[in-house]
Chains A and B, each alone.
Chain A
Amino acid sequence: MNLFKKKYHQYSDEALVALLAEGKEAAFDELYQRYAEQMYHFFYKMLYQDQELAADFCQTLFMKVFEKAETFSSAHKFSTWLYAIASNLCKNEYRRKSKPKPIIYLAEGHMQQPLAPGFIDKEIFNRYLQSAVNKLDDKHRLCFILRYQEDKTIQEISEVLGCPLGTVKSRIHHTLKKLAIQLHQFDPKQKKLGNE
């Protein structure tokens, strides 16, 4: 049967959505393989580091991809479209819960390597950084995560959120400045300098 099987991994995201709209279930499988984990992490970061909630939202997201594949416009990148749907889901969740739940978590990814003594402060810095990001208001947190944790360009963020480029730049700049002020006392370099 593999003789007749299409090599979906060779298709672009946009071509896969078009195939999905035609009813090709295998196209959905390929899209899921490409984006499921990525979107799961996105929801995890956006929705208070709640693993179950992130999984639920990931399922809801791909259900919407299933349903709305026919409405996808090839004028946009699929990933932009996907993040736009995900962002709207997050906004709805924020509205449902009036205030985000501040959770401080330790980014365990950085602890996979043995920490050198000089990096301990860095670890503390990261922990408080995450806490500060969680305390941001929804709009600024969304912009910040999309820009620096999902590696989206300003243009892509503008399309995802449906707002002007200048607004996105302004939000990111103000978020950076706000975080810098909040984390001033945990600046590892300053401590290092202080120790020296």
Chain B
Amino acid sequence: MSKLTENLDQLLDSYSFDQLSVEQQEVALSQITREEYTLMREVILSSKQLKAPAIPPLDKDLHQQLKQAYRKQHGFKGKTTAQRWSALALGVLLGALTTAGYHWLRTDPQPERVEEAAPVVMTDTIYVQKTDTLYVTVESEPKVITKEIIKYIDRETEVLTVPITPDQPLPLAYQSEPIINKQLQDTLQGNYFNNIDLADIIPMKVGKSVGEETELMDLLREMPSDGLDNE
């Protein structure tokens, strides 16, 4: 759209052809004739006057019908009059209660009641979760060792007091000591003399007699005499 046309529309909206300046008339006449300008302006003015055609007014019930139709279809989010009244009544009630409570606190006739009041006993349960370390020293006697000693003594007593026949097996306490067992068995069998073969007990040493020791004897012969032998 050219600048001239744009200017022409502005002129048409605002001025009749006679009201235009010479320059404006030249702009207008460069595009349309004077008659066209006059007629176009008349169209504009007449159209503006036509903007309120006389028709029957809108039905007053349309507004309510519209709201009811919308509520029916969608459910209106706003509050109804009854809801507003309820909210107001609740507000008034709360306000009255607050005011009454405030006055009651301020005009309490027996403030000393607080001093005379019985102590309040409250029982409650408190759950405490706490972790701690306790060191406990426990002393005990060596009962096991003492018992072993007593047991040993009992065994000796048993050996000494209980007669044992040769065919009877030895008490278990002595079975682990073969040498003493044998000696003990010999004693019990009446072998009062020394019938004990020491070789069984002590390993025999094998050696030579003095006379068999030739080197020792040669050494003795060569030794000077002190004269005592001859006396």
Contact = CB atoms under 8 A, between A and B. Distances in A.
Contact of A176 (B43, B57, B58, B63): B43
22 contacts: A22-B77, A23-B77, A25-B78, A36-B58, A36-B63, A40-B55, A40-B58, A41-B53, A49-B55, A51-B56, A58-B62, A63-B66, A109-B53, A110-B49, A148-B51, A149-B48, A169-B1, A169-B5, A176-B43, A187-B35, A188-B42, A189-B38
A147 to B, nearest CB: 9
Nearest to B53: A107
A187 B53 contact: no
B63 A183 contact: no
A102 to B, nearest CB: 16
B58 A58 contact: yes
A32 B65 CA distance: 13
A125 B39 CA distance: 11
Interface in A66-123: 66-67, 105, 107-110, 112, 122
Nearest to B77: A23
Contact of B39 (A54, A109, A169, A183): A183
Given A41-B55, A129-B47, A129-B50, 8 more contacts: A4-B88, A51-B56, A63-B66, A109-B50, A112-B54, A177-B40, A179-B43, A187-B39
Interface of A: 1, 4, 22-26, 28-29, 32, 36-37, 40-41, 44-45, 49, 51, 54-55, 58-59, 62-63, 66-67, 105, 107-110, 112, 122, 125-126, 129-130, 133, 144, 148-151, 166, 169-170, 172-173, 176-177, 179-181, 183-184, 187-190
B43 A183 contact: yes
B67 interface: yes
Given A23-B78, A67-B74, A149 B47 contact: yes
Interface of B: 1, 5-6, 8-9, 12, 32, 35-36, 38-40, 42-44, 46-59, 62-63, 65-67, 69-70, 74, 76-79, 84-85, 88
A172 B43 CA distance: 12
Contacts of B43: 129, 176, 179-180, 183
Given A23-B76, A25-B67, A129-B47, A180 B54 contact: no
- Interface residues of A, dominant DSSP: helix
A168 B38 CA distance: 22
A171 to B, nearest CB: 10
Given A59-B66, A107-B54, A126 B46 contact: yes
Nearest to A56: B62
B3 to A, nearest CB: 11
B52 A41 contact: yes
A130 B59 CA distance: 25
A184 B39 contact: yes
Contacts of A190: 35
A51 B63 CA distance: 16
Contacts of B1: 166, 169-170, 173
A189 to B, nearest CB: 6
B40 A169 contact: no
Nearest to A172: B9
A55 B62 contact: yes
A55 B58 contact: yes
A150 B79 CA distance: 35
